Each structure stands twice: as C-alpha cells, then as structure tokens.
A and B are shown apart, each in its own frame.
Chain A
Amino acid sequence: MARRFAYFIAGWIIWLLLGWTLNYQEVVAGAAVALIAAGMFGGYLPLQPRKLLNPVRWFWLLVYIPVFAWQCLKANIDVALRVLSPGLNLKPGIVKIKTNLKSDIAKVFLANSITMTPGTLTVEIKDDTLYIHWIEIRSDDPEEMAKMIKGPFEFFLKKIFD
C-alpha cells in the first residue's frame, strides 16, 4: 500500500510539473490519472517507501548528482577524442566485475551510471556480477578493473539505496 501511495505522489508531482499550472482542473485530472497509474503499476515500485523518508539518503543523492555529472562529461570528452583520433585507439572486450550492492534498484543505478562513464557499457547483471563492454581494456587484474569501472559510484549508491 505504501508503495502505491509513494507512486501516486510521484506521478501527481510529475503531472503537475508537465502542466506547470495549479488550475484546479489540472490538479483534479492529475490526481485521477496518478491514482489509476498507481493502482495498475504501483506494486512494481522497486523501492522500500520507508527509505524515501530518510533525509540522509536524500543528502547523499544531492552529493551524487554533481559527481555523476562530472563523470558523464569526462565520458563524453573521452569518447569524442576517440572518435576524432585517426587510429581510433580501440581495444574492446567484455569483462565481468563483482558488486557488493544488495538491492535491485541500487544495481540498476550502478549499471546506468557505468553506462554513462568513459568507454563502459553494461551488458548484463546476474546476481552480483556485472558484464561490461569496455572500449579500451587497460588492466587484466579483476580487482583493478572493478575499481576503474565502478569509480566513485558504488560508495555513493550504497549510502543512497542500500
């Protein structure tokens, strides 16, 4: 039930943001649509609602956003330089790394973050193993590889979601 309620609130807020007006018609229609959507899909919300109320987690989320933005920019410059260099500098391969994150949502965020960082693209998650397509393999040691690929993300995601 709490999941559905959290879903309903989030859906309603997004509806109001999309319309960007507090006209009562919009508010009522948004509530109705959010209620229907929450009834249909709220059960799938992969978050425990009581975690949403913990301000420490929100604080770490706020810290995480600039870290992520910086990594994302670095990723783009890296790929852009590769595209423009005459020899392409490719040494691709698919490697596997371990993660110690427990919850599904944390793993999804880790996978998405890895996809957005330099030269790495998540292919598959099986339990605690992530398969990553890496555009230039710079190490053969699993520990070192995991450190290079995950960067600072795992630390923050553990604080936010686990």
Chain B
Amino acid sequence: MISVLALIFLWLGVVFVLLGALGLARFPDLYNRMQAATKCVTLGVCGIMIGIFLRSGFNPLGIKALLAAVFILFTVPVSSHALVRGSLIAGVRLWKGTVRDDFTADRGAPSIIDNAGAGEEEK
C-alpha cells in the first residue's frame, strides 16, 4: 500500500518536472518562464522527495529527503524573486503582450515592454 502511494508521488513529481521544463521552452519571455520554473519544478521535486520518504520510511535517507523538500519550499520562491527583480531592474524585455508594468512605472524608468517587431514570438 505504502509503496503504491510512493510510486504515485514519484510519478506525479516526474510529470510536473517535465511540464515545468516544457513551460520553460514554450513561454515567451523570462518572466513567464520563471512562473513555470518555480511552480512546477518546486512541486515536482517535493513530490519526488515525499515519494522517497514513503519508500524508505523513518531512516536517515527518508528524513533527509523530507528536510530537503522543506528547504526547497522555502528557498525557491526567494531565488525566483531575486532573479525576476534583478532582470526587471537590468531591463530585460517583457513580452509584447504584457498589459501593464507597475514596477517599472513606479521606479520612473522608461517602459521595457517589448514593442512590435520582435521576431521570436511571431512564430
């Protein structure tokens, strides 16, 4: 019973990591890609870790996996926040379909929303 549950968690994790990677390839700009990279990959890795914990139980390996899941849950949002904030300040372009950008407007910097003519997204 437990091993079936462990397998379910492991597979859920693998599928979400795959979807996160797919999102990384499909989304049009850095900011949307970060969305896929943070959410799907966090849950995916946490799922794999919980699967490992269920498989091995209360021994050094299982507890380490559980602690790793907790640390990932705390650190991934912080690092994604730092990456996105740094990119915005450095002026990495937003996708042309972006409707508003309060952050850049409030800093008083010129808009960094991509205007038409960007080739890659046209495909």
B97 touches A122 (CB 8 A): no
Question: How far does the alpha carbon of A109 sit from the alpha carbon of B31 in the complex, in Å?
Answer: 21
Residue among A19, A83, A112 facing the most chain B CB atoms (10 A cut-off): A83
Interface size on B, residues (CB 8 A): 45
* Dominant secondary structure at the B interface: helix
A47 interface residue per 8 A CB criterion: no
B102 touches A119 (CB 8 A): no
B98 touches A93 (CB 8 A): yes
B64 touches A18 (CB 8 A): yes
Query: Which A residues are in CB contact (< 8 Å) with B99?
Result: 91-93, 137
A14 touches B67 (CB 8 A): yes
A-B contact count (CB 8 A): 122
Question: How far does the alpha carbon of A20 sit from the alpha carbon of B94 in the complex, in Å?
Answer: 47
Question: How far does the alpha carbon of A123 sit from the alpha carbon of B85 in the complex, in Å?
Answer: 5
Residue among A75, A94, A111, A131 facing the most chain B CB atoms (10 A cut-off): A94
A92 touches B19 (CB 8 A): no
CB nearest to A108 among chain B residues: B78
Question: How far does the alpha carbon of A90 sit from the alpha carbon of B29 in the complex, in Å?
Answer: 11
A20 touches B60 (CB 8 A): yes
Q: Which residues of B contact A (CB under 8 A)?
A: 16, 19, 22-23, 26-29, 31-32, 34-36, 38-40, 42-43, 58-60, 63-64, 67, 73-74, 76-78, 80-81, 84-85, 88, 94-95, 97-104, 106
Name 18 extra pairs, CB < 8 A, besides A84-B19, A92-B99, A131-B106: A14-B67, A18-B67, A76-B40, A83-B27, A92-B32, A92-B97, A93-B98, A94-B100, A112-B77, A115-B76, A116-B38, A116-B77, A119-B35, A121-B81, A121-B84, A123-B84, A123-B88, A133-B84
Q: Which residues of A contact B (CB under 8 A)?
A: 14, 17-21, 72-73, 75-76, 79-80, 82-84, 88, 90-96, 111-112, 115-116, 119, 121-124, 131, 133, 135, 137
